[in-house]
Structures are given as structure tokens and as C-alpha cells.
Amino acid sequence: MSESMHILIIGGGIGGLAAAIALQQLGLAVTVFERTPELHEVGAGLSLWPNAVKALDKLGLGEPLRAMGVPNGSAGIRAWDGTPLVQLSASTLEQTFGAPTIVVHRADLQTLLRAALAPDVLRLGWECTGFVQDAEGVTAQFADGQSVRGDLLIGADGIRSAMRTQLFGEQPLRYAGYTAWRGVAHFAHDQLLLGETWGRGTRFGIAPLNQERVYWFATRNAPAGSAAAPDGHKAELLRRFRGRHDPIPAVIAATEATAILHNDIYDLQPLKRWGQGRVTLLGDAAHAMTPNLGQGACQALEDAVALAAGLHAGSSGDAGLRAYEARRINRANAIVRQSWRVGRIAQLEHPLAVGLRNFAFKHMPSNMSMRQFTWLLGHEV
């Protein structure tokens, strides 16, 4: 790898920003092109599991990240009536997997990543429309007619990646069969249990955040593109979750109606390749997954660290990209598949299937549930 390389990153989400930090640490010149003119304080919470915390440690951000965390006694899954099905203590999770689990507001993580970048790295309001590569370099083309030449290009442009379409053609996204709402409420959370409550074709998840805030999400089985209730998401959710165990209705009630996000859930069928020549993909552009394992952003962080390692070791830029892909693709694809499977179980609707599921979870020894996740959460990229 030559230290005079200039790397173009398309997309300033968590993946693009983290990759820029990792490449900057190698002493490489890097520019991130983000199409939105401003990075808004959007989004809700993000679970950063031990594998992601270890990746952020490698980016030198472990300490400020840990300072954002809220101590959690335990995490688990409950049945619809609030009965615990699986309960794991946060300290056991940390001891088993070698780092804590930290739930952050997405905007706080974005601010942390952005602050670690050199001042001129991030360019806002640059929408990349495509690229041209040749033996000497790669040229990114932008919507306003400008173009920028570099040595390598990283497509970190999210689930509907235009860079991926140029590389491999249109890849259909796969609708998971359920829709999700997310929000953040100001809410005292001394005794809150981090975790999910599973019903029939519906779920509600809660995680305490710093500054007396609570991140929550809700799902329900529905056809893609189902219309919102005429009186809005908040009113619909209050109706759907009326009578559920504490503090579900109160957390919804404490949320600003206009700040509730709603998305149908899609993933990308695992790709066989991520790159070609001087171009590769990273984050959701490469491996968009359903949120059931809370791993999408965690995997983008692992990608960032592995990309820098690949380029550091590679004899040339494109050899470095292929080394990165070889190191990451099987693991990321396995997590896409696993996340899909967990979603199928969590969203079961038939009463008999739900009863069997709950019985199996309730009677699973806790060390067995931990062991199942070692490959996923204990991983150090």
C-alpha cells in the first residue's frame, strides 16, 4: 500500500465515517462525500454489542463511547404478559464477550465519529451518481457535474446503494413481512429492563439511553407499504399497545409524535462479491440486514476496521480491498441470514407456534443461549 493514496468514500453514515477514521489512522488521504447537505440529528437508538465496542476501541473511541453508556442490570426477552422468557445479566454478558453492550442515540454516535475526523475530510451536499475506473485510478462523478479522482472508492451509500447497482446491477431487496416504528422518549428509567417483549406477530423493545432518555421500537406483521393510521403513528401505537405491561404505554405516551420513525423492514440477499478493481462496498451497501440482532451498524464498524487492516497488509490498493472482502463477506452474510431467521421466530403469529416458541425460550438454559452467540458477539475484528 502506498501512503500517498487518496481514498474516496461515498456516504457519510456510520459505516462511511468509521471507515474514514480507520483509514486516517493509517495516514491515508481520505474524503467522504455525503449527499445530504446537513447531517441531521435523526434516528433513534442503536445497540452496540461487544463486537462493535471492540471495533470502536480499535478506532480509539472506546473511552468516549463507554462514557455514553447507561449501566444495565440485565437484558432479556419477555412474553406478551411481561413474564421473563430469557434473562441475562449485563455483567455476565460483558465477561463472556469481552466488552460491554452500549445503547446510544444514533446522533450521538454520529457526532462522536465526526469529531474524530480531520476537518476537511467530510464533504456535505455531494451526491455521487457513479464512477469510472481504469488502470491508474477511479473517478467519482457527482450530480452537479463535478468529478473527483482518487485511487480507491468505497461505496458506503446504504441499503439502496447506487455504487452497488453500478458494480453488480439492481439487486432486489427482500421485504421481511413486518414494519417497525422507533422513537426516543424523555423518561426516568431506574428500574427499566433492557430487552424485548414478544407477542403474536408483534414486538416491543426498550433500552435506556443516557440523559434520562429511553429508546424504544415496535413491530407488527403487515404487507409492505401499508398506510399509516389516519390519526398518526403515535395514536396507532397507543391503541396497539394499550394494556401491555409497564412501562410500554407510558413510554409511547412520553414520545413526541413527530419524532416517531416508521420503516418497512427489508434486507439484501447476501452478495457473492462486494467489489471489483479499485471499488468495494461497506456497511448496508454490502450487507443490509434486518434489525433483529441489532447488528447492522455493528457490522459496518467491523467492516471499517477490516478495511484498514486489508489495505495496511495488501501489496496494492486493490489487493487490499480483496483481502478486506475475503475477511468479511462470510461473517457478514452469516449474520444477514441469522438475523432473518431470528425475525421469523420473533414475528411468529399462530398461537400454537407462539406457545411452543415461548416454552422453548423459557426452558433454554442461560449458558446455552450465551454459547449460541459467542461467534457473533464475542468476535474481535
* Residue type, position 35, single letter: R
Backbone φ, ψ for residue 124 (5° rounding): -95, 150
Q: Among positive and negative, which fits the CA dihedral 319, 117, 32, 306?
A: positive
Tell me whether residue 1 or residue 163 sits nearer to ligand FAD (CB atom). Answer: 163
The site that binds ligand FAD (CB under 6 A) totals a number of residues, namely 32
Residues present in the chain in total: 381
Closest to ligand FAD by CB, 1 vs 329, is 329
In this complex, which beta carbon is closest to ligand FAD, that of residue 28 or of residue 288? 288
Stretch that binds ligand FAD, among 22-30, 66-74, 80-88, 153-161 (CB under 6 A): 153-161
Q: Closest approach of Cβ 123 to ligand FAD, in Å?
A: 9
Residue among 9, 31, 33, 320 that touches ligand FAD (CB under 6 A) = 33
Site string for ligand FAD, 250-289 (x = CB under 6 A): -------------x-------------------xx-----
Q: Which residue has the cell 473517478?
A: 139
Contact 207, 184 (CB under 8 A): no
CB 152 within 8 A of CB 321: yes
Candidate list 30, 31, 35, 78; residue touching ligand FAD; CB under 6 A: 35
Q: Using CB under 6 A, pick the residue from 5, 9, 30, 34 that binds ligand FAD.
A: 34
Peptide bond just before 247 cis, omega within 30 deg = yes
* Rounded (5°) CA angle 106-12-70: 20
Binding residue for ligand FAD (CB under 6 A) from 11, 50, 247, 343?
11
Identify which of residues 2 and 258 has a Cβ nearer to ligand FAD in the complex.
258
Q: Which residue number, 217 or 241, has a Cβ lying nearer to ligand FAD?
A: 217
**Residue 77 binding ligand FAD, by CB under 6 A:** no
Interatomic CA distance for residues 304 and 113, integer angstroms: 12
Minimum distance from residue 220 beta carbon to ligand FAD (Å): 13
> Applying CB under 6 A, which of residues 15, 76, 183, 310 lies at the interface with ligand FAD?
15
What single-letter amino acid sits at 95? Q
Q: Which of 23, 116, 300, 336 binds ligand FAD (CB under 6 A)?
A: 300
The nearest distance, CB 300 to ligand FAD, in angstroms, is 4
- Candidates 35, 342, 338; CA nearest to 161 is 35
Distances (CA, A) of 323 to 245, 285, 327: 49, 18, 6
Q: Does 195 bind ligand FAD (CB under 6 A)?
A: no
Beta strands in the chain (DSSP E): 6-10, 29-34, 45-48, 74-79, 84-89, 102-105, 122-124, 128-133, 138-142, 147-150, 152-155, 173-186, 194-198, 202-209, 213-221, 261-268, 279-281
| Between 36 and 91, CB nearer to ligand FAD | 36
* 36 makes contact with ligand FAD (CB under 6 A): yes
**Enclosing H/E stretch for 317:** helix 317-346
* Per-residue contact flags (x/-) with ligand FAD for residues 85 to 124, judged by CB under 6 A: ----------------------------------------
Q: Which residues bind ligand FAD (CB under 6 A)?
A: 10-16, 33-36, 46-47, 127-128, 156-158, 162, 180, 182, 217, 263, 283-284, 291, 294-298, 300
